[in-house]
Structure 1
Amino acid sequence: MWNIIQSLWSSLALFLSALFFHGMILRSIRENKPNWFINNHQHHIIRYFIGMYYGVLGLYFIWRGLPGEDFGIYTDMLINIILMLNVFSGTGPATIATSIIIIGKLLLGYNPHMQLIYVFFLLSYHFICIQVNTLKISLVRKFILSKLSITPFMLYYLHFKMAIPLQVYAIPKWLFIFTISFICSLILYLAARFIDTSNKQIFELRQSSILDPLTNLANYRHFDTCLRDEYKESTLKQTPLSVIIFDIDFFKNINDTYGHQTGNIILSHLSIALKKVLFHENALIARIGGEEFAVLLPDTSRDGATFYAEQLRKQIEKTDFPFKDEEIRLTVSVGAATMDHLHHFESGEALLKAADAALYTAKENGRNRVYTANLIVPLKE
């Protein structure tokens, strides 16, 4: 029995280390690349790497469980990998990890017949966990239900693996093993939930400090910080930096006619329309005032900024903003400015002021048009 506790304890410690290392990596990514958790493609890549990460951990447990290496109770940790990934990461990562573990069992196993039976149970358990995960119940209930569903497999496998008889007199031994196994899984579940919850809370707290609550775009404070950083980066690397500023034409009339609540709804819908403009991935869209917005475009030329500004204007002009039984149409005036080898600015703030001056030129010349700083002819006559 002491061998069982010793093996479980060492494998549990390793699993916990893997969990915390995984949590630290995800926290770092959330802090430095928050868009990776918003962009579906990049988020899927992260999740698949998680599956591979725990699949490799499973290979290590398989190797340690081989005869002559350790007592073999590492088998329990393979089940926990499938359980934890299904509960916290979803079907994709769990399927990847399960596939890697199955390949490892078939290649490293010493008893082909026993390994095939084991693979069958692994696949069955994975599919059970998938089904449990679709139930509309709490995480802890999903964990308990998934854990209990492995009982028939443990009775069958451990009976042969550890030569525990299926007799009445062996009940205390079985209860001991099941209790230890459940406690280990519970510790892993609590650790995984703590890491997952704390990381999400830190991320949400950070997001709330940099996002405008109405539009869910960057707020002025975050925009200003990024502008300063990008200005330094652009100056150091001698790359272009562009800024676009725009505001809604005659927005005061909308507030006066329909009320401020309607105005807020329109601003919220406007942010959705902005996300349909295909800015490059490093662009930052922000709400910097009441109905005033800005776009920071690192490594973007004057022509590129002008192109994006016109695409933005056209997108908003063709968007219907629903209000009760009618559709409200909006137009925007847009100003842009670029720092490059021909146009230098003393600071990011000076670049922003140049774009703001171009915006007011657009407004004075009829609105619903784009002006670029130092560009005399407007794009839309």
Structure 2
Amino acid sequence: MTTAPPPRIAIIGAGPGGLTCARILQRHGITATVHDHETGPGSRNQGGTLDLHEDNGQIALREAGLLDEFFRLSRPEGQEMRQLDPGGKVLFHHTPEEGERFKPEIDRGHLRDLLLNSLEPGTVRWGHTLTSVDGPSEGPRLLRFADGTSVEADLVIGADGAWSKVRRAVSPATPRYSGVSFLEAWFHDVENRHPDIAGLVGRGSAAAADGERGLFAQRNSGDHIRVYIIQRVPADWITANGLTVQDTGPLRAHLVEQYRDWSPRMRRLLTDNDGRYVDRPILALPVPHSWEHDPTVTLLGDAAHLMPPLGVGVNLAMLDACELALAVAGTGTVDDAIRTYERTMLSRSHKMQQLLDHGAEELLSAELPDFATDDSDSDSDSD
């Protein structure tokens, strides 16, 4: 009796979803190789902070055997949330209770390092920019990379984000601009250099909006704060104003004019940043996004269901990764594993896509969020 060889699994993308999938597969004795276009784990800043929820992201970390280490690295105090008005008055203030662990914060870089360090040496192949997925749908698939190399795989997992190259093998869909854009601003050594902003934001996050524009400020580790300046604007609004993202001074002047009705204290979140701004237009895939079943290719995370950034993206990517890895470990064939995984994932993502469709607009709403209903947890005065 002969035993079928184990499937050759290629994961494209070394973000939280791709790395979580590889880790859980390895815990079940299944080899997977992760390919990423970056030159190495420290080639770029991984972005700001994120919260991992008890009912999705933390489930994946438990299956990965990393939940206790996550809690050691996370910042439960980051669950603090303030809703402000444009004058800086606190309308709502949630302070986490002692031991609250529903959605503690962790810097993206710290989460990535946690996952990377859990993998077997050589799992991630850096500097591998995917150019195409070729070969018959029944496999094997041939992955071609920009450096001229290629590999064969029996299962290709697209964990390569908004502009996924793997997605092209199963779907013609591309991200669309939502009509809302973020301009990211960084503040460093905030307790010493920006104490007023540190006091305004607190230990977690603070949000404010007037119906047309908004701000979302968030603590990161290492005494940093990131502020996201939120506007309903054309995607090319910077160039349309005769500017580039490198024109820090003129951009500041433009923002001050746009937020002229906000208080001077709130406008410091626009103007006192350290360094240049980062342009981040908000994109989303068509709602709902699905594809015809392919027996050798599937997607997870933003590659499958890119949505506005309302706190679910990484959590869903990690839950996708967990369920896909468990399906591969517990199902007889790759084809059956993909069917099992997609049956649950697509149903869940469709519901969430519909719920968050046009959700970027909610970031501009001056109304209090639905969760701000407990009067006993509300402050009436500005800090």
- Measured against the shorter chain, the TM-score band is under 0.3
TM-score in terms of structure 2 length: 0.25
- Report the structure, 1 or 2, having the larger helix content: 1
Between the two structures, name the one with larger relative contact order (CA 8 Å, sep ≥ 6): 2
Considering only CA atoms, is the larger Rg found in Structure 1 or Structure 2? 1
TM-score w.r.t. length of structure 1: 0.25
